[in-house]
Amino acid sequence: MAQVYTAFASEVKVNEETIAGLQTIEYAVERNRTNVGAVGTDERVAVYFGLRVVTGSLAVASVNATLDKLLASGEKFSISATLRHGPDARSVTFDDCYAETKAFDMGAGAHGRTVYGFSATRVREE
């Protein structure tokens, strides 16, 4: 059975500081892959995996001073997310993160929103 987590009950922290105004957290894990073909055929006979790349983004209402400082300084940080729904919880931890991008938008009749992009050495899901 699928577990559904709610944003209202969940929490995301950067270096143990809760991110106020968080709207979304997104992440992706990509593994480099090389296909190995055999001589005389067009079919693959093996696959080699290499570097694993973890990237993600945090979207916050208006701006976040902590994330702005990390982007400016280039300091390493960690992100921990606790996803919850009722009594069920799942922990997602990003190790050795670096802030890489920042994009701000604000539409008519709406509040500002900043999306901070990051990369991580690894993600652990428990």
Q: How far is CA 55 from CA 30, 31, 58, in A?
A: 8, 12, 11
The pLDDT tens digits for 32-90 are: 999 999 999 999 999 999 999 999 999 999 999 999 999 999 999 999 999 999 899 99
Residue 1 has pLDDT above 70, yes or no: no
Nearest in space to 24 (alpha carbons), one of 72, 67, 56, 71: 56
Confidence of residue 124 (pLDDT cuts 50, 70, 90): very high
Token couple for 7:
């944003």
Q: Residue 20's CB: how many other CB atoms inside 10 A?
A: 10
Walk me through the domains of the chain, giving residue ranges and CATH numbers: 6-125 (2.30.110.20)
Q: Indicate the helix (H) or strand (E) that contains 66.
A: helix 65-73
Token couple for 124:
């652990």
